Structure 1
Amino acid sequence: MNKIGLIVKREYLRRVSKKSFILITFLAPLLFAALVFVPLWLSGIKGDEVKKVAIIDTTGKYAPLFKNTDEYIFINSNGNLEQYRTAKDKEVFAFLNITGDLLENPNAATLYSEKQIPIGLKKEIDNVLSKYLKDEKLSSFNIPNLNKIIEESKINFDIKTIKWDAEGNEKSTSAEVASILGMMLTFIIYMFIMMYGAMVMQGVMEEKTNRIIEVIISSVKPFDLMMGKIIGIGFVGLTQVFLWGILTTVLVSGTLFFMGGSTTPEDLMNTQMAAQNLGNISMTAQAPEMNTKVLEIINSINFTQIGICFILYFIGGYTLYAALFAAIGSALEQQEDTQQFMMPILVLMIFSLYAGIYSMNNPDGPLAVWCSFIPFTSPIVMMVRLPYDIPIWEILISVSLLFATALLIVWGSAKIYRVGILMYGKKPSIKEMLKWIKYK
C-alpha cells in the first residue's frame, strides 16, 4: 500500500508540474468565458456603413411602411432593376421589388442584390410586411376589435410544479432546472472519463516505449503500479476540474460585474432580459417574488444526495474505464494500434451519453432504468436521473453493481497489465489478452 502511495505521489506531482497542465488549467476557463461573452459583446457592435435599400412598389401601399434603422436606409425608387444592374456606381445595396397585392400573391415581393442578402435585412423586411398583412387580413373579416381580441387571447401558460415530502411540506420545483443540472453532471463525468482515462493509457504506453517500466517493475508489483497510476491521474483530473470551477466562477462573475455593474440576482436577471431583447420590462416589483421562487426551487433539490452520488459514480466510473485503458496501453506499443481496442470502449461511452440525453425527458423509462443498472453506462445515465428523486434502492443496487464490476475489471486488467507491460515487438489480439487473465 505504501508503494501505491509513492506511485500516486509521483504521478500527481509529475503531471501537475508540467507547463501543459498549468497552461490548460488557466487558459481553458479564459477560453470558456471568451466563448460566452465575446460573441455577446461583438453582436452589440454596429458597423459604420449604412446601406441603402431601394423599394420599387407598384402598389404604392407597402413602401411607406419601412422606417430607417441604424443599419439600413429605405428609399422609394422610380428606377428599375435593369438600370441598377448595369449602373457602374452601386450606391444602392439591395432592391425590394413589389409587383402586386401580397395578400393575394405572397410571391409578388422579391429582394435583389449583387451580394448575399444579410439575414438581418431579410428579417426586418419580413417582420414589417408580416405585421401589415396580418392586420390587413384581420380587417377583412369586418369584426370589431378582432385584433385586440386575438392579442388578449394569447396566453403563455406555465404550470406550477410542487412536490411534497413525507410530512406533507410543499416545495416548488422546476423540470428545467433538474434537466440542466443532470446534463451538466453527465457531461462532466463523460469528459473526465474520456480525457483522463486516455491519459492513463498514454502514460502507460510512454513508459513502456521508453523502457522505463523495466526498472520500475523490478521494485514494484504490476498491480501496485497500475493502481498508483490510475489513482494519481485521477487526482490530477480532480485538481484540474476543481480549479476550472473556481476560475470559471470568478471570470463569469467578474465579467458580469463589468458588463452590468453588479452581480446581485436582480441585476443578473435584468442583464439576461436585456441580452435576450425582451424589452424594457421592469423587474423591480417582481424581484422579491422571483427570488423566493428561485430559492424554493433550489431548496427542493437534494444537493447532498446528488453530491454524494456524483462522487461515488465519479470514482466508480473512472476506475472502471481507467483500468480498461491501462490494460490496453500495457499490451500495445504504437498509438495507431489502439484504435482496434478503443472502439468498443468508445461505442459504450457514446451510447451512454446518448442514452443519458434521451432519458432526460423520461427519467423513469425502460432505457433510463436499465442503463442505470448496467455498470458501463450507469455513471453517465444515472446523473440525469438523480435530480428526479429516484428510489434509494435503485441507487444502492446501481452503485453496488458499478463498484463490483469496477473491482472485477481492475483484477482482470491487472492480469493483462502484468503480462503486457513487458511484452515488446508484438501486437496481441483480444483473444490472446483474455488468455492472459487465466495466467497465474
Structure 2
Amino acid sequence: MNKTLIIIQREFINRVSKKSFILLTILMPFVFAALIFVPLMLSTIKSGEQKQVAVIDHTGKYAKLFKDDESYRFVPTPMMLGEFKSDTTAFAAVIEIKADLLEHPEAATIYSRKEVPQGLSRIVNNTLDEQIRHDKLVKYNIPQLKQIMDDFDKSYDIRTVKWTDDGSEQESSAELAMLAGMVLTFLIYMFVMSYGGMVMQSVMEEKTNRIVELMVSSVRPFQLMIGKIIGIGLVGILQLAIWGIMITVIMSVAGVGFGLSNPDMMATSMAATPDMASDDMAAFMSALAGLNLPMLGLVFVLNFIGGYLLYASIFAAVGASVNQSEDSQQFMTPIVIVLVFALYAAMYSADNPDGPLAVWCSFIPFTSPIVSMVRLPLGAPVWHIVLSLVVLYASALALIWMAGKIYRVGILMYGKKPSIGEMIKWMRYK
C-alpha cells in the first residue's frame, strides 16, 4: 500500500509541476470566457458608417414604414437609376416594391452589388410582414383593430410547477435543468477523453523508455497501474476544481463589465417593475433550488470518478499492450466511437429523458456516466440512478481487475502488437 501511495504521489507531483499543466490550468478559463464574451463584444461594435438604402415604392404605402437606425438610412427614391449598379454609388442596397404585397407577395426585391447583409434582410422582412398582417386584418373591417393587434402581439409563457415528495409545489424550469445536465455531461466526457488518454500515454512512454523494467523490480505491476490511474485522476480533479473557481470569478467580473449583473441597472429595472423583477428572481431561485443541487453534485462526483476509473483501466491496458502510439489505434477507435455515441445519446436524451435510449444507456456502464447526468436534473427515478451507479462501479472494478491481468504481462512484452485474442489469454494467466 505504501508503494502505491508513493506512485500516486510521484504521478501527481510530476504532472502538476509541469509548465504545460500550469499554463493550461491558468489560461483555459480565460480562453473559455473569451469564447463567450469576445463574439458578444464584437457583435455590438458597429461599423461606424450609416449605410444608405434606396427604397423604390411604386405603391406609395410601404416606403414610410422603414425607420432609420445606427446601421441603415432609408432614402425614398422615385425610380430605379442606373447609378445604383455602379461601383461609385452611395447606396449599399436598393429595395424595390412593384405592387401591393398582400396580393403579390413576390413583388418586393432587395438589390445589391454584394451579398445582402442578414441584418438588412431581417429589418425589411419584419417591416413588410407587420404591414401585410395589418392589411389582411383591415380587409375584415374589424373595429378597434389597433387595440386588438396590440393584444394579439403579447406572448404568453405558462408557469411550470412540480410536486415534491411531500406534495408541496415548487417552481421548475426544464431549460435550466437541461442546461445543468448538458454542462455536467460535457465535463465528464472531456475528463474521460483527456485524462484517460493521459494514462495510456504515460504507460507507453515508460514502456518505450524501458523505465518500467526497473520499476516492476520493486513494485507489483498492479500497484503501478493503480498508482498511475489514481495519481492522474487526482491531477484532473485538481485542474477542474481550479477551472471551476476561476471561471466563476471571470464570468462574474465579465458579467458586470457587460452590464449583465450591474447593480445600478438591476436597481433601475426593479424600481421600474418591482413586482415583475421580484417575481422573476423568486421563480429563478425556486427553479434553481428545485434542481436539488447537493444530490446533483454528489451524483456528478460519483459518475465522474466511476467513469474515469472504468475508461482509465482500459486505456492503461491498451498502453501496456502496444509499443508505439500508431499501434494503439486498433484498440482506441472502438473506445472513441463508444464515447462519442454516449455524448450524442445524452444530447438526444435531453428531449426524452424517459425514452428507451436514455433509460438503457443510463444502465450500460460505458455510456451511463454521461447519459445519467442528463436524466437526473430532468427527474429520473432515484432507483434508476442508484442502479446505474452500482452497475458502473461493479463494471469499473471488474475492468480494473482484467486490465491488471493484461498490464502485468503486456508491460514487459515487446515486438509485434498483440491481438485481442492474445490479450484475453493474458487475463487467464496466474
TM tier, smaller: over 0.9
**Take 1:265 and 1:191, find their aligned partners in 2: how far apart are those partners?**
38
Q: Tell me the TM-score normalized by structure 1.
A: 0.91
SS at match of 1:437: helix
Alpha-carbon distance, 1:269 to partner: 11
- CA deviations on 1:202-229 (whole Å, 9 max, x unpaired) are 1111111222212212211110111100
Q: Please point out which of 364, 382, 388 is paired with 2:372.
A: 382
CA separation of 1:312 and 1:262: change in aligned 2, threshold 3 A: closer
- 8 Å CA contact retained: 1:320, 1:410: yes
**Take 2:417 and 2:81, find their aligned partners in 1: how far apart are those partners?**
70
Task: State the AA in 1 paired with 2:186.
Answer: F
In the alignment, structure 1 residue 59 sits paired with structure 2 residue 59:
yes
In the alignment, structure 1 residue 141 sits paired with structure 2 residue 131:
no
Counterpart in 1 of 2:209? 210
- 8 Å CA contact retained: 1:260, 1:268: no
**Take 1:196 and 1:269, find their aligned partners in 2: how far apart are those partners?**
47
CA separation of 1:263 and 1:421: change in aligned 2, threshold 3 A: farther
- CA deviations on 1:272-298 (whole Å, 9 max, x unpaired) are xxxxxxxx9944332322232223223
**Take 2:8 and 2:186, find their aligned partners in 1: how far apart are those partners?**
26
CA separation of 1:83 and 1:300: change in aligned 2, threshold 3 A: closer
Instruction: After TM superposition, list the pairs within 5 Å mapping 1:128-167 onto structure 2.
Output: 128-153=127-152, 154-166=154-166
Counterpart in 2 of 1:259? 258
In the alignment, structure 1 residue 364 sits paired with structure 2 residue 364:
no
Structure 1 stretch displaced more, 407-416 or 354-363: 354-363
Gaps of 5+ in 1: 271-279
Counterpart in 2 of 1:249? 248
Alpha-carbon distance, 1:393 to partner: 3.1
Task: State the AA in 2 paired with 1:32.
Answer: F
CA separation of 1:265 and 1:79: change in aligned 2, threshold 3 A: closer
**Take 2:360 and 2:263, find their aligned partners in 1: how far apart are those partners?**
42
Instruction: After TM superposition, list the pairs within 5 Å mapping 1:165-314 onto structure 2.
Output: 165-166=165-166, 168-260=167-259, 262=261, 267=266, 282-314=272-304
In the alignment, structure 1 residue 44 sits paired with structure 2 residue 44:
yes
Gaps of 5+ in 2: none
Instruction: After TM superposition, list the pairs within 5 Å mapping 1:392-431 onto structure 2.
Output: 392-431=382-421
Structure 1 stretch displaced more, 170-179 or 374-383: 170-179
Q: Tell me the TM-score normalized by structure 2.
A: 0.93
Identity of aligned residues (%): 51
Task: State the AA in 1 paired with 2:284.
Answer: V
**Take 1:363 and 1:378, find their aligned partners in 2: how far apart are those partners?**
13
- 8 Å CA contact retained: 1:266, 1:287: no
- 8 Å CA contact retained: 2:361, 2:371: yes
**Take 2:248 and 2:64, find their aligned partners in 1: how far apart are those partners?**
50
Alpha-carbon distance, 1:330 to partner: 1.0
CA separation of 1:109 and 1:229: change in aligned 2, threshold 3 A: same
- CA deviations on 1:1-33 (whole Å, 9 max, x unpaired) are 111111111111111111111111111110111
**Take 1:179 and 1:414, find their aligned partners in 2: how far apart are those partners?**
38
Task: State the AA in 1 paired with 2:45.
Answer: I
**Take 2:238 and 2:203, find their aligned partners in 1: how far apart are those partners?**
21
Alpha-carbon distance, 1:318 to partner: 0.6
State the aligned residue count.
429
SS at match of 1:218: coil
Alpha-carbon distance, 1:243 to partner: 0.3
SS at match of 1:285: helix
Give the root-mean-square deviation of aligned CA atoms: 2.3
Alpha-carbon distance, 1:119 to partner: 0.6
Task: State the AA in 2 paired with 1:302.
Answer: N
SS at match of 2:53: strand
**Take 2:294 and 2:260, find their aligned partners in 1: how far apart are those partners?**
33
CA separation of 1:256 and 1:315: change in aligned 2, threshold 3 A: same
**Take 1:212 and 1:197, find their aligned partners in 2: how far apart are those partners?**
21
**Take 2:97 and 2:275, find their aligned partners in 1: how far apart are those partners?**
47
Counterpart in 2 of 1:2? 2
Counterpart in 2 of 1:274? none
In the alignment, structure 1 residue 75 sits paired with structure 2 residue 108:
no
SS at match of 1:229: helix
Counterpart in 2 of 1:349? 339
Task: State the AA in 1 paired with 2:426.
Answer: W
Counterpart in 2 of 1:106? 105
Structure 1 stretch displaced more, 112-121 or 174-183: 174-183
Alpha-carbon distance, 1:406 to partner: 0.8
SS at match of 1:97: strand
CA separation of 1:351 and 1:64: change in aligned 2, threshold 3 A: same
Alpha-carbon distance, 1:43 to partner: 1.6
CA separation of 1:22 and 1:263: change in aligned 2, threshold 3 A: farther
CA separation of 1:160 and 1:265: change in aligned 2, threshold 3 A: farther
- CA deviations on 1:311-345 (whole Å, 9 max, x unpaired) are 22211111010000011111112222222211211
**Take 1:349 and 1:308, find their aligned partners in 2: how far apart are those partners?**
22
- 8 Å CA contact retained: 2:161, 2:169: no
Alpha-carbon distance, 1:65 to partner: 2.2
- CA deviations on 1:249-282 (whole Å, 9 max, x unpaired) are 1101111223328566983996xxxxxxxxx994
SS at match of 2:274: coil
Counterpart in 2 of 1:123? 122
Q: Please point out which of 408, 422, 426 is paired with 1:432.
A: 422
Alpha-carbon distance, 1:150 to partner: 4.5
Alpha-carbon distance, 1:185 to partner: 1.5
**Take 1:141 and 1:281, find their aligned partners in 2: how far apart are those partners?**
42
- 8 Å CA contact retained: 2:4, 2:226: yes
Alpha-carbon distance, 1:373 to partner: 1.8
- 8 Å CA contact retained: 2:365, 2:388: yes
**Take 1:299 and 1:80, find their aligned partners in 2: how far apart are those partners?**
61
**Take 2:55 and 2:354, find their aligned partners in 1: how far apart are those partners?**
57
Alpha-carbon distance, 1:107 to partner: 1.4
Structure 1 stretch displaced more, 157-166 or 130-139: 157-166
**Take 1:403 and 1:221, find their aligned partners in 2: how far apart are those partners?**
23
